[in-house]
Amino acid sequence: MTAIILASASPRRRELIHQIGWTAEIKKSHFQEVSDAAEAGERRKKNSIFLLNPFSGADLVCAVNALGKAEDVLKQTGNGIPVLGADTVVTLDGKILGKPEDEEAAWKMLHFLSGKTHQVKTGVALLKGCRKLLQVVTTSVTFRKLSDDEIGKYIATGEPMDKAGSYGIQGKGTLLVESITGSYDNVVGLPLVTVYEMMKVLQKDV
């Protein structure tokens, strides 16, 4: 059985890890996340992190955050068990949508996403010892055209408040989605096939 340390308190990511038969010790990171590409670029420049060179825009944001979370937890543990860090963002028309601050912010996000195709991006960092692997996975999600009443009722459930883009595809938010192209697990918060393939590389090379 594969054991990892998950640098995330997300119950959705923990459930996904258990879904494939792995065990996960939860260790919350204290890494200060970046929220936009400019800040992510400054963080990359300051720390000269070679792994981040291939990424830009929203990809760079979630890559910086995933790697930062994993590195922080690796420093705390250092016990040889692989550390997995992840960060998910929603992006549309160049705008990055994080978790809503309040119901008004959730309303604006859902209205913005209504009837459009957006991208869900998850940065995945897998670390063990001096070995560090980093990838970003993108899934395209198309929303139905939502009425104001539908948006209001969905916000009233409370589900949008702790999720990037103000919705959860694994919950009641599935009714907002017309179609997806790519990994469903990625939209939930962790692209399992990518994580599995990264682990195969890590175990082979370490």
3-state secondary structure of 3: strand
CB count within 10 Å of CB 94 equals: 8
Give me the half-sphere count of Cα atoms (radius 13 Å) on the Cβ side of residue 9. 6
Instruction: Tell me if residue 162 is catalytic.
Output: no
3-state helix, strand, coil in the chain (%, to 5): 45, 25, 30
Q: Among residues 49, 39, 182, 186, which one has the least CA distance to residue 124?
A: 186
* Residue in 36, 59, 72, 87 annotated catalytic: 87
Question: d(Cα 3, Cα 12) in Å, to the nearest integer?
Answer: 17
Alpha-carbon distances of 136 from 42, 73, 75, 84, rounded to whole Å: 19, 20, 23, 13
**Residues with catalytic annotation?**
87
